[in-house]
Amino acid sequence: CLNKANASSQHRLNLLSTAHNVLIEEKKEHVKEHQAQIDIQPLVDMAMKHEHDNPQDAVQLLEVAQQLVPNDPVVEHKLQQLS
Protein backbone atom coordinates (compact mmCIF):
# COMPACT_ATOMS: atom_id res chain seq x y z
CA CYS A 1 0.00 0.00 0.00
CA LEU A 2 2.72 2.46 1.00
CA ASN A 3 4.88 1.13 -1.81
CA LYS A 4 2.12 1.87 -4.35
CA ALA A 5 1.83 5.41 -3.06
CA ASN A 6 5.58 5.97 -3.36
CA ALA A 7 5.99 4.13 -6.67
CA SER A 8 6.00 7.30 -8.72
CA SER A 9 7.18 9.82 -6.13
CA GLN A 10 9.80 12.20 -7.46
CA HIS A 11 12.15 11.46 -4.57
CA ARG A 12 12.01 7.71 -5.23
CA LEU A 13 12.49 8.20 -8.97
CA ASN A 14 15.50 10.45 -8.33
CA LEU A 15 17.03 7.84 -6.02
CA LEU A 16 16.51 5.11 -8.61
CA SER A 17 18.01 7.30 -11.31
CA THR A 18 21.04 8.07 -9.15
CA ALA A 19 21.50 4.40 -8.31
CA HIS A 20 21.23 3.50 -11.99
CA ASN A 21 23.86 6.09 -12.95
CA VAL A 22 26.21 4.83 -10.24
CA LEU A 23 25.84 1.28 -11.56
CA ILE A 24 26.55 2.44 -15.12
CA GLU A 25 29.73 4.22 -14.00
CA GLU A 26 30.87 1.24 -11.95
CA LYS A 27 30.31 -1.06 -14.92
CA LYS A 28 32.39 1.25 -17.15
CA GLU A 29 35.21 1.19 -14.60
CA HIS A 30 35.00 -2.58 -14.28
CA VAL A 31 35.18 -2.98 -18.06
CA LYS A 32 38.23 -0.67 -18.20
CA GLU A 33 39.96 -2.65 -15.45
CA HIS A 34 39.14 -5.92 -17.19
CA GLN A 35 40.44 -4.61 -20.53
CA ALA A 36 43.68 -3.56 -18.87
CA GLN A 37 44.15 -7.14 -17.69
CA ILE A 38 43.58 -8.75 -21.09
CA ASP A 39 46.83 -9.88 -22.67
CA ILE A 40 46.55 -9.33 -26.42
CA GLN A 41 50.20 -10.11 -27.08
CA PRO A 42 49.49 -13.69 -28.28
CA LEU A 43 47.05 -12.29 -30.86
CA VAL A 44 49.61 -9.73 -32.02
CA ASP A 45 52.31 -12.41 -32.20
CA MET A 46 50.07 -14.70 -34.25
CA ALA A 47 49.16 -11.84 -36.59
CA MET A 48 52.82 -10.99 -37.15
CA LYS A 49 53.65 -14.63 -37.80
CA HIS A 50 51.07 -14.76 -40.60
CA GLU A 51 51.28 -11.21 -41.96
CA HIS A 52 53.11 -12.22 -45.16
CA ASP A 53 51.38 -15.51 -45.94
CA ASN A 54 47.86 -14.51 -44.89
CA PRO A 55 47.65 -10.72 -44.50
CA GLN A 56 43.85 -10.76 -44.25
CA ASP A 57 44.00 -13.22 -41.36
CA ALA A 58 46.58 -11.02 -39.69
CA VAL A 59 44.30 -8.00 -40.05
CA GLN A 60 41.39 -9.94 -38.53
CA LEU A 61 43.51 -11.02 -35.55
CA LEU A 62 44.63 -7.44 -35.01
CA GLU A 63 41.03 -6.21 -35.24
CA VAL A 64 40.03 -8.67 -32.52
CA ALA A 65 42.95 -7.43 -30.40
CA GLN A 66 41.81 -3.86 -31.02
CA GLN A 67 38.28 -4.70 -29.85
CA LEU A 68 39.64 -6.27 -26.67
CA VAL A 69 42.02 -3.40 -25.92
CA PRO A 70 41.05 -0.24 -27.82
CA ASN A 71 43.70 2.41 -28.53
CA ASP A 72 46.66 0.05 -28.21
CA PRO A 73 49.45 1.83 -30.14
CA VAL A 74 51.16 -1.37 -31.32
CA VAL A 75 47.93 -2.81 -32.71
CA GLU A 76 47.02 0.47 -34.41
CA HIS A 77 50.49 0.72 -35.97
CA LYS A 78 50.40 -2.86 -37.28
CA LEU A 79 46.90 -2.36 -38.69
CA GLN A 80 48.09 0.74 -40.54
CA GLN A 81 51.04 -1.21 -41.94
CA LEU A 82 48.83 -4.01 -43.24
CA SER A 83 46.07 -1.81 -44.63
Distance separating alpha carbons of residues 65 and 27, to the nearest angstrom: 21
Q: How many residues can be counted in the chain?
A: 83
> For residue range 3-23, what is the model confidence (pLDDT) as tens digits?
666 777 888 888 888 888 899
State the pLDDT at residue 16: 84
> For residue range 14-56, what is the model confidence (pLDDT) as tens digits?
888 888 889 999 988 887 777 667 889 999 999 999 899 999 9
Distance separating alpha carbons of residues 33 and 31, to the nearest angstrom: 5
Q: Which of 28, 77, 52, 27 lies closest to 65 in space, CA to CA?
A: 77
State the pLDDT at residue 49: 93
Confidence band of 69 (pLDDT split at 50, 70, 90): confident
